[in-house]
Amino acid sequence: MTLTFPTEEQLKALQQAVNLSEIEALGRARLDQNALDYYASGANDGHTHRANREDFSRIRLRPRMLMDVSDVQTGTSVLGLPLDFPVGIAPSAFHGLAHPDAELATARAAAGLGSVMTLSTFSNTPIEDVARAAAGRLWFQLYLYKDREVSAGLVRRAEAAGARALVLTVDTPFVGRREANERHRFNLPPHLQVPNAGSREALAGLETQSGSQLVRHFQGLVDPSLSWRDLDWLKSLSGLPIILKGILTAEDAELAVQHGCHVWVSNHGGRQLDTAVSTIAALPEIADAVAGRMEIYLDGGVSRGTDVLKALALGARAVFLGRPALWGLAAGGEDGVRRVLELLKGEVRLALALSGKQSLGQVGRDLLKM
């Protein structure tokens, strides 16, 4: 299937959407089966994928009344970068499956809304091009390759392009079993490149009669022996802050802090170990372990402004969107991602006001009933 740009009617429907669920429906409708399977699939039976969202709904808010909320402020910062509201874009592969402008559209939308984009190693667009579109609001996500010089080259490229942090994904020594991708033999369309993750020819050479092309490519590249010892090597390459993405326990959060790394609470969107703890359920013990020594971020299941407040109340500094940004991208390119961020920003502001809070700094655990 060759992607086309959204029609005027589709863009009008996008602007009429009033929540992220409606944008998801619009985005899904524009994707072929190959892309939809890749974006939507969770591991195995999808228990963790569902729990990411369901566990947010189980937490109740304790709003305060008769508070002056005539001037509510949603601003914050991550690693010194000011954000207009505490929401960024999580790394996800292959934005070109959703829209012809791919990661460039996502980066422009994030920059325009005062957010930050994390670019996947498995992007369809070179780091340098995305960095220009992101206008200084870019982090780079890294997998550690078996060939360390390839990873070192990516780190140098990212730093030279202006990335402000390195996000090392630590939960993927092997790819989780995403059965829809296996069943339908996920493959990257011929017109898409993977400029940061190997050649188009390397991908094509892995085509077989069964299974996911991506899994075979990934396992040929990424080093499953990655351990805490490798962080010193990574830190020797660059002075950029390092964030470990995929932390789900207090024990690993403490080790991250000891190694001078920030913590990203993530279960890869429920795509790795099924029945693993949801991110919002894991967050309290991680926040207690980190105890303010490093910044904490979270992805997984965020679909409402109230979800953002709950994550911040439990210790996250900001949350990051994976699938919602992709649904917006599919629905309307840059306009679609922008609409996702605009809706969520409005919901964060309203949730703050209705909770009796003037700013994010007033959000703590006293806001919640667990």
Return binding residues for glyoxylate: 38, 143, 178, 268, 271
Residue 222, phi then psi, degrees to nearest 5: -90, 140
268 is an active site residue: yes
Active-site residue identified among 49, 95, 262, 268: 268
**Which of 30, 57, 29, 35 lies closest to 303 in space, CA to CA?**
57
Q: Are 322 and 23 in contact (CB under 8 A)?
A: no
Q: Are 26 and 331 in contact (CB under 8 A)?
A: yes
Q: Strand, coil or helix: what is 179?
A: helix
Q: What does DSSP say about strands 242-247 and 166-169: parallel, antiparallel, or unpaired?
A: parallel
Neighbours of 350 (CB within 10 A): 14
Neighbours of 346 (CB within 10 A): 13
Residue 13, phi then psi, degrees to nearest 5: -60, -35
**Which of 91, 52, 82 lies closest to 310 in space, CA to CA?**
52
Which residue ranges make up the annotated binding site? 38, 91-93, 120, 141, 143, 169, 178, 245, 266, 268, 271, 322-323
Q: What does DSSP say about strands 60-61 and 87-89: parallel, antiparallel, or unpaired?
A: unpaired
**Which of 77, 80, 78, 129 lies closest to 108 in space, CA to CA?**
129
State the Cα angle at 329 between 208 and 125, rounded to 5°: 60
Q: Which tokens sit at 268?
A: 């890869």
How far is the C-alpha of 251 from the C-alpha of 342, rounded, in Å? 36
CA-based end-to-end distance of the chain: 46
In whole angstroms, how large is the CA radius of gyration of the chain? 20
> For 185-231, what is the HEC assignment?
CCCCCCCCCCCCCCCHHHHHCCCCCCCCHHHHHHHHHECCCCCCCHH
Q: HSE on the CB side for 106, CA within 13 Å?
A: 37
How far is the C-alpha of 198 from the C-alpha of 301, rounded, in Å? 31
Which residue ranges make up the annotated binding site for FMN? 91-93, 120, 141, 169, 245, 266, 322-323
Task: List active site positions.
Answer: 268
